[in-house]
Amino acid sequence: MSETIIQPASSIRRAVCAALVLAPVPLTSLAQLRVEITGVGSQQFPISIANFARAGQAAPAEIDSIIRADLSRSGLFRIIDAGGQAIAEDATVNLAEWKGRGADALVVGSIARLADGRFDVRYRLLDTVKQAQLDGLSYVSTAADLRLTAHRIADRIYEKITGERGVFATRIAYIVQTSPKSWELHIADADGFNPQAALRSREPIISPAWSPDGTRLAYVSFESGKPVVYVHSVTTGERRAVANFRGSNSAPAWSPDGRSLAVTLTREGNSQVFLMNADGSNVRRLTTSSGIDTEPAFSADGGSIYFTSDRGGGPQIYRMPVSGGGAQRVTFNGDYNMSARVSPDGKQLAYIGRRGGRLQVYVLDIASGQEVPVTDTASDESPSFAPNGRLLLYATQVSGRGILASASTDGRVRTRLSGPSGDIREPTWGPFIK
Amino acid sequence: MTPTHLSRAALLATAFVFTLAGCSSVNLDEQPPAPIVDSTATATKTGPDPRAVAPVDAQAGRTLDPLNDPNNPLSKRSVFFDFDSFVVKSEYQPIVQTHGSYLGTNKQRRVTVEGHTDERGGREYNLALGQKRAEAVKQRLMLLGVVDSQVETVSFGEEKPRGTGSNEEAWAQNRRADLNYR
């Protein structure tokens, strides 16, 4: 590796740039290394992440510990303690010794401050069994983007080992109530760090939903004295009311192609599910019950809509064609199931179920009807799948305060997300970006 | 007029005619008679009575809108519900009745019925439950002659609690529908 791999400053965008392969080491076949992911009972891949060597002034973010936290939170990795020693990406490593410690893979790297104030971050992923390099990259990053760089490295490692895309560099959105008269719509990294307020209001905001391309958020704002559905462009802050009919307007859900929104409107009486174009035009009613139909969620192929209905008494989840009519009940356990979200592969449904007074996140295998609780808390809300379908983000309560947590969809690993102070709720996991 | 009065008036009229007849023989060179002034004429004249006293109430300009009068039953604008219920309980029927009558006779008035729930359950589902409560009140109002265009029903679900604790006392305050006049 030489300095020549680092691009000149003028060609480097503000965002993390230049993921350059460090050395032409033959890659071992991914299939051989892929962790078999079969849900409950799957094995965790043992990996060791050594401290990154630091040259010169200390970096503002701990790259190595962010990578460890990301991989550990995924539920698919078991982090083998690497001891306190730093190992640079160009150091000579005795891989057999690391294999002996129980690590099937080892991550080494370095971080150095450049003359222009940015940082050069380098990493290698080494297979201790085959004694070969699996990956090696160099990034130039601003101080502000170092966390993102760490998430991107974690994504690379995740993909090299599991064969699936990592979600650590994606973003989440959620609502935080900072006082009785103050609500904010935040966007943060997938681990809850780097929160930024996209909207502040003195009235409630609920039900944010990312557009499939990750550029817009639909949500419900009460700023005009009643619930109205808005679509908000995140980068420009431009926003418009797309459903502002007589009565209440709520529960926006994007179709997978981003062209339509399913919403709950009460303009004809009680809450019913309607479909409209994403700009608010061409509104047509999909459900026609005499009770409550709400919380629409599109199936992965866009052909069906799951929703919550009290037509059978208590709330249960139903499925209907996207053209409306002919709804079938989907949940049968317990007397209270709601807030359905479909996994990206369309095979699983996550929702909130109440059993014995506890509101918990459940995951249902749609084909078999098998249901598994994935949390052990009692006041869960708003489950949301990661774009790779392996993790769920949800809101829960600890000591009366709303917090965010993530759980692997098999329920094996649960992590409380760090975040700003205040009452946090209504999380929604954004899509892969590019 | 009684017959007695009638005959009395006739006698007076007859006497007057004779008097005029008697006058016709008065010598023209004599002094003209003093003009006769009808003292009752001023009573029939239009215009202000200089002796009239108009009563003025110093508080007249600040007459309370019946909606803001704390002594008026219209000032009660919340209907409370049982857990998981949308039934307007009998103890709240008089409140709905009062507003129904007011809106029925004041067709220009518009009201928003805002449904609320306690914190238990999902936010969107609670929004729908609050809507059901607001609709229940609206249906009652319409039975009393209020027209659809006078009432908009919206819901705040669990987002705007009046009671802030996590106990039955707070929850009972939050399971309600408020009537807000516009």
pLDDT in tens, A346-363: 999 999 999 999 999 999
Cβ of B123 within 8 Å of Cβ of A227? The answer is no
Q: B124 in a domain, yes or no?
A: yes
Cβ of A247 within 8 Å of Cβ of B160? The answer is no
Q: Are residues A333 and A189 in the same domain?
A: yes
Q: Which CATH number goes with the domain that contains B159? A: 3.30.1330.60
The parent domain of residue A369 ranges over 171-429
Distance from CA of B159 to the nearest CA of A (A): 6
* pLDDT greater than 70 at residue B22: no
Q: Does residue B124 belong to the interface with chain A, where contact is any CB pair within 8 Å? A: yes
Order the strands of the A371-373 sheet from edge to edge: A337-342, A348-355, A358-365, A371-373
* pLDDT greater than 90 at residue A138: yes
Q: Are residues A110 and A183 in the same domain?
A: no
Q: Which CATH number goes with the domain that contains A215? A: 2.120.10.30
> Rounded CA gap, A249 and A238, in Å?
20
C-alpha dist (Å) from residue A332 to A361, A398, A405: 15, 29, 26
Environment class of residue B146 by beta-carbon count within 10 Å: exposed (0-12), middle (13-18) or buried (19+)? buried
Residues 372-411 of A with CB under 8 A from B: 381-382, 400
Q: B35 in a domain, yes or no?
A: no
Global pTM reads: 0.82
Q: Are residues A80 and A140 in the same domain?
A: yes
From A120, A142, A162, give the residue that closes a domain: A162
Q: Are residues A114 and A216 in the same domain?
A: no
Q: Are residues A152 and A184 in the same domain?
A: no
Task: Mutate one of A181, A266, A338 to test the B interface: name it (highest B CB count within 10 A).
Answer: A266
Q: A7 in a domain, yes or no?
A: no
Q: Are residues A330 and A304 in the same domain?
A: yes
Q: B161 in a domain, yes or no?
A: yes
Q: Does residue B148 belong to the interface with chain A, where contact is any CB pair within 8 Å? A: no
Give the chain A residue whose CA is nearest to the CA of B159: A204
The number of distinct structural domains making up chain B is 1
Task: Mutate one of B131, B152, B162, B167 to test the A interface: name it (highest A CB count within 10 A).
Answer: B131
> Rounded CA gap, A145 and A155, in Å?
15
Q: Residues B31-48: pLDDT tens digits?
A: 555 555 555 545 555 677
Q: Are residues A80 and A213 in the same domain?
A: no
Cβ of A246 within 8 Å of Cβ of B125? The answer is no
Q: Are residues A111 and A193 in the same domain?
A: no
Q: What is the mean pLDDT of residues A110-138?
A: 94
Q: B134 in a domain, yes or no?
A: yes
From the list A102, A98, A95, A84, the residue with the least C-alpha distance to A45 is A102
Q: A317 in a domain, yes or no?
A: yes
C-beta of residue B126 within 8 angstroms of C-beta of residue A207: no
Helix axes B123-143, B93-105, angle to 10 degrees: 60
The number of distinct structural domains making up chain A is 2
Q: Residues A246-263: pLDDT tens digits?
A: 999 999 999 999 999 999
Q: A16 in a domain, yes or no?
A: no
| Residue B1: predicted pLDDT | 44
Residues of chain A with C-beta less than 8 angstroms from the C-beta of B156: 204, 222, 227
Distance from CA of A426 to the nearest CA of B (A): 9
Q: What is the mean pLDDT of residues A290-298?
A: 97
From A131, A162, A193, give the residue that closes a domain: A162
Residues of chain A with C-beta less than 8 angstroms from the C-beta of B166: 400
* pLDDT greater than 70 at residue A376: yes
Q: Are residues A377 and A237 in the same domain?
A: yes
Q: Does residue B127 belong to the interface with chain A, where contact is any CB pair within 8 Å? A: yes
Q: B94 in a domain, yes or no?
A: yes
Residue A56, token pair as written in the block: 């010169």
Q: Are residues A359 and A312 in the same domain?
A: yes
The parent domain of residue B175 ranges over 65-181
Q: Are residues A242 and A368 in the same domain?
A: yes
Q: B119 in a domain, yes or no?
A: yes
Distance from CA of B122 to the nearest CA of A (A): 7
Q: Which CATH number goes with the domain that contains A52? A: 3.40.50.10070
Residue A315, token pair as written in the block: 């709330």
| Residue A9: predicted pLDDT | 29
C-alpha dist (Å) from residue B35 to A69, A371, A375, B95, B165: 120, 116, 113, 71, 92
Cβ of B152 within 8 Å of Cβ of A246? The answer is yes
From A138, A162, A186, give the residue that closes a domain: A162
Q: What is the mean pLDDT of chain B?
A: 81
List, as one string, the DSSP characters of B60-93: GGGPPPTTT-TTSGGG--EEE--TT-----GGGH
Q: How confident is the model at residue A60 (pLDDT cuts 50, 70, 90)?
A: confident
From the list B94, B84, B81, B119, the residue with the least C-alpha distance to A314 is B84
Q: Residues A166-196: pLDDT tens digits?
A: 999 999 999 999 999 999 999 999 988 889 9
Q: B129 in a domain, yes or no?
A: yes
C-beta of residue A252 within 8 angstroms of C-beta of residue A218: yes
From the list A118, A24, A105, A119, the residue with the least C-alpha distance to A71 is A105
> Rounded CA gap, A303 and A305, in Å?
7
Q: Are residues A130 and A181 in the same domain?
A: no
